[in-house]
A and B are shown apart, each in its own frame.
Chain A
Amino acid sequence: MIEEVLKEADKILKERNQKTSIENFLFKEKLSPYELLILLLDDNDENLYLMAEVSKKITERYFGKVINLFTPLYLSNYCTCGCSYCGFSMENRNLKRIKLNEEEILKELKTIKSFGIDSILLLTGCDMINTPFEYILSGVKIAKDMFSEVAVEVYSLKEEEYKILAQNGLTGVTQYQETYNKEVYDKLHPYGPKRDYYYRLYTQERALKGGVKEVTLGVLLGLNDPIEDVFKMILHAEYLMKKFPNAEINVSFPRFRPAGTNFKESFKITDKMMLRFIFSARIYLKNVGIPLSTRENSKFRDALIGYGITKMSAGSKTCVGGYSKEYYSGNQFENEDKRSVEEIIEVIKRKGYRPEFTNWVKGVVA
């Protein structure tokens, strides 16, 4: 049970003042959770360089000199949740609500496909009335004919629903817990389906049992003590890896970005902290996938190529209908890296890496 893992994590977190030199364990094949916490807490710059080098070696071993590219597509921004940090929140009365119909979805997908992208992430807000399961299913069905990998980032579904989606071409599920701290979670999610902490916590398990091959966990950095959230997320990922040894597991580290609400983050996340989180995840979970979104600026994203990350989103638009420019609706958050797919490809190549578009054979899953 993941609850037990989180309870154990809380115990370890209470001992967070413990200081040991990271060099004592950095090169071990398997670190303990105590050692993971030391990595996350370390604030020595020299150690950060060392962690970067170790991360590079491990990443090359498992993933080679390759960066996978994907693009998100927002199908709808309707939402029945009141999450205070999110631009799609029901509280955001200024947002023009839009939902793409099948024809519009196809048009958007064609535009994204023309960039050369072969891996798509379909997103909606959390609204089971305007965007019911059938709507998500139809989106997956349209996308799977054009893309090798089709993932969704929607509200938490039932195992049976994930099974139907997987049978119809879904390869991945992304679900952010946002924060693992239950108290903070409850406060930030006052109403709506997302309010159920535990139902959300088990999303990845339901998806994997339903037959998807890849899941992505995430916390929204800035909502809570980042050490606690990142520590628990990494242990959550490890738990899933043990339970589903055949599944591809990813961890994501989005930082809070302004989103058309008045929300102010409780914790400021510096670049250095982000680096440390990414390297810690890589060193602790050697084969975990680490995507890096366009929330981060181009300088930061470019610097990380080769040092832990395995995937990058490219050419992203975070408003509904943003690719074929039929509509302009409000963004879920602001993008920092606004470069085109072609520009990202160039940077990856310049860094001595190969941009990769396909990580799965279309039609094999379904």
Chain B
Amino acid sequence: MSFIVGGKSIKNRLFVGTGKLPDYSILKRIYEELNIEVFAVAVRRINPEKGKGYSVLDFLPKEAVIMINTSGARNYKEAVKIAMIGREITNSDWIKIEISGELKYLLPDNEETLKAAEILVKEGFKVFPYIFPDLVLAKKLEDIGVSAVMPLGSPIGSNKGIDCELLLKAIINEINIPVIIDAGIGRPSHAAKAMELGADAVLINTAIATSPDPFSMTKAFSMAVSAGRLAYEIGLPKEQEHASPSSPLTDLIRGETK
């Protein structure tokens, strides 16, 4: 069930965002008990100067994979700068490019994201662009050499689930790098659906962070992700308009025996 992304073999296809969590102390537990390996961390949430225990880095196990997030960046220049600072602080070269085009729906600015990706790939980062699901852009990003693309399922924090299935499927089917669905996934069933579509992983933040029990909710998501992936690998049955025979008797009843 594991897959290779950013030069690493990752077993758990549930990635967890840390930005909205009420308490970072949960991170160690979900790493150890639920085997979550990848954590998205906003550089603006890291405060390297204090060392007073409020930096998210103080709570992440050393072995965890840190995906640095450029959230807060408004253009490619800021994203590149944040990425550089982030690498310096965390020692991780996994960069999620997140450039907000506007703040109400937090939709990404695809144009600026492409520019940032071009620079960061050249700078040797493992680049994970958060994008509006646009196949043409995804292909350009693939050509540049990003490690994966991260199209949104629906706007960040909206809990609307996979709201642009057609566009996501086009990306999943047409590009050859991992696709990680990021944003909008509110329920474990949404995550399972993303995996059934063939996504390689999902990234969840709001749904876990704002749950009354973030640990158990992470567990629920992790199970759903595994279930969805397993079903995808086995091959899901096609949907049909009419009932299809499931019993040998049906043939008899219909009089279609030889």
Mark contacts of A144-180 with chain B using CB atoms, 8 A cut-off: 1 yes-contact digit, 0 otherwise: 0000100000000000000000000000000000000
Min CB gap A114→B, angstroms:
10
**A65, A246, A361, A363 — most chain B CB neighbours (10 Å):** A361
Given that A61-B159, A359-B72, A363-B85 are contacting pairs, would A246 and B21 also be in contact in the complex, using a CB cutoff of 8 Å? no
Given that A116-B50, A148-B44, A213-B74 are contacting pairs, would A65 and B81 also be in contact in the complex, using a CB cutoff of 8 Å? no
Cβ contact within 8 Å between B100 and A61 = no
Cβ contact within 8 Å between B103 and A245 = yes
Contact of B23 among A61, A62, A349 (CB under 8 A): A349
Min CB gap A248→B, angstroms:
6
Min CB gap B120→A, angstroms:
15
Asked whether A118 is an interface residue with its Cβ less than 8 Å from the other chain, the reply is: yes
Contact of A358 among B44, B81, B101, B158 (CB under 8 A): B44
B window 24-82: CB within 8 A of A: 24, 43-47, 50, 52, 54, 72-74, 78, 81-82
Place the interface of chain A in its size category. Answer: 20 to 34
Min CB gap B157→A, angstroms:
4
Min CB gap B238→A, angstroms:
35
Place the interface of chain B in its size category. Answer: 20 to 34
How long is the Cα–Cα vector from A287 to B104 in the complex, in angstroms?
A: 6
How long is the Cα–Cα vector from A23 to B73 in the complex, in angstroms?
A: 38
Mark contacts of A33-74 with chain B using CB atoms, 8 A cut-off: 1 yes-contact digit, 0 otherwise: 000000000000000000000000000111111100000000
Cβ contact within 8 Å between B103 and A64 = no
Chain A residues whose CB sits within 8 angstroms of the CB of B206 once the complex forms: 60-61, 64
Mark contacts of A259-270 with chain B using CB atoms, 8 A cut-off: 1 yes-contact digit, 0 otherwise: 000000000000
Cβ contact within 8 Å between A361 and B102 = no
Given that A116-B54, A364-B85 are contacting pairs, would A356 and B45 also be in contact in the complex, using a CB cutoff of 8 Å? yes
How long is the Cα–Cα vector from A354 to B19 in the complex, in angstroms?
A: 10
When C-beta atoms are compared, the residue in chain A nearest to B99 turns out to be A246
Cβ contact within 8 Å between A65 and B209 = yes
Chain A residues whose CB sits within 8 angstroms of the CB of B54 once the complex forms: 116, 355-357
Cβ contact within 8 Å between B103 and A361 = no
When C-beta atoms are compared, the residue in chain A nearest to B75 turns out to be A246
Given that A61-B159, A61-B210 are contacting pairs, would A246 and B102 also be in contact in the complex, using a CB cutoff of 8 Å? yes
Min CB gap B118→A, angstroms:
19
When C-beta atoms are compared, the residue in chain A nearest to B43 turns out to be A361
Chain B residues whose CB sits within 8 angstroms of the CB of A148 once the complex forms: 44, 47
Given that A245-B101, A358-B47 are contacting pairs, would A364 and B82 also be in contact in the complex, using a CB cutoff of 8 Å? yes
Chain A residues whose CB sits within 8 angstroms of the CB of B101 once the complex forms: 245-246
Cβ contact within 8 Å between A246 and B22 = no
How long is the Cα–Cα vector from A357 to B52 in the complex, in angstroms?
A: 11
When C-beta atoms are compared, the residue in chain B nearest to A362 turns out to be B85
Chain A residues whose CB sits within 8 angstroms of the CB of B44 once the complex forms: 148, 358-361
Contact of A61 among B22, B43, B158 (CB under 8 A): B158
Asked whether A352 is an interface residue with its Cβ less than 8 Å from the other chain, the reply is: yes
Min CB gap B183→A, angstroms:
12
Asked whether A241 is an interface residue with its Cβ less than 8 Å from the other chain, the reply is: yes
How long is the Cα–Cα vector from A6 to B12 in the complex, in angstroms?
A: 53
Cβ contact within 8 Å between A65 and B104 = no
Given that A64-B20, A360-B72 are contacting pairs, would A247 and B157 also be in contact in the complex, using a CB cutoff of 8 Å? no
B window 150-187: CB within 8 A of A: 157-159
How long is the Cα–Cα vector from A241 to B103 in the complex, in angstroms?
A: 8
Cβ contact within 8 Å between B50 and A364 = no
Mark contacts of A323-366 with chain B using CB atoms, 8 A cut-off: 1 yes-contact digit, 0 otherwise: 00000000000000000000000000100111111111101110
| Total A-B Cβ pairs within 8 A | 87
Cβ contact within 8 Å between A352 and B22 = yes
Asked whether A286 is an interface residue with its Cβ less than 8 Å from the other chain, the reply is: yes
When C-beta atoms are compared, the residue in chain A nearest to B23 turns out to be A354
Min CB gap B7→A, angstroms:
26
When C-beta atoms are compared, the residue in chain B nearest to A64 turns out to be B20
Min CB gap B3→A, angstroms:
28
Cβ contact within 8 Å between B210 and A60 = yes
Contact of A116 among B23, B43, B46, B52 (CB under 8 A): B52
Given that A354-B22, A359-B72 are contacting pairs, would A65 and B210 also be in contact in the complex, using a CB cutoff of 8 Å? yes
How long is the Cα–Cα vector from A350 to B104 in the complex, in angstroms?
A: 29
Given that A246-B100, A364-B73 are contacting pairs, would A65 and B43 also be in contact in the complex, using a CB cutoff of 8 Å? no
Contact of B104 among A60, A63, A245, A357 (CB under 8 A): A245
How long is the Cα–Cα vector from A60 to B158 in the complex, in angstroms?
A: 11
Chain A residues whose CB sits within 8 angstroms of the CB of B23 once the complex forms: 349, 352, 354
How long is the Cα–Cα vector from A261 to B19 in the complex, in angstroms?
A: 44
Cβ contact within 8 Å between B209 and A64 = yes
How long is the Cα–Cα vector from A148 to B44 in the complex, in angstroms?
A: 9
How long is the Cα–Cα vector from A149 to B91 in the complex, in angstroms?
A: 24
A window 290-310: CB within 8 A of B: none
Cβ contact within 8 Å between B45 and A287 = no
How long is the Cα–Cα vector from A363 to B43 in the complex, in angstroms?
A: 12
Chain A residues whose CB sits within 8 angstroms of the CB of B46 once the complex forms: 358
Min CB gap B198→A, angstroms:
28
Cβ contact within 8 Å between A64 and B82 = no
Contact of A64 among B24, B159, B210 (CB under 8 A): B210
**A-B CB contact pairs (8 Å), 27 listed:** A60-B20, A60-B210, A61-B157, A61-B206, A62-B157, A63-B20, A64-B205, A64-B210, A65-B22, A116-B54, A118-B47, A241-B103, A246-B74, A246-B100, A352-B23, A355-B54, A356-B54, A357-B50, A357-B54, A358-B44, A358-B45, A359-B44, A361-B44, A364-B72, A364-B78, A364-B82, A365-B78
Known: A63-B20, A64-B209, A65-B22. 8 other contacts (CB 8 A): A64-B20, A64-B210, A66-B20, A148-B47, A352-B23, A353-B22, A355-B54, A360-B72
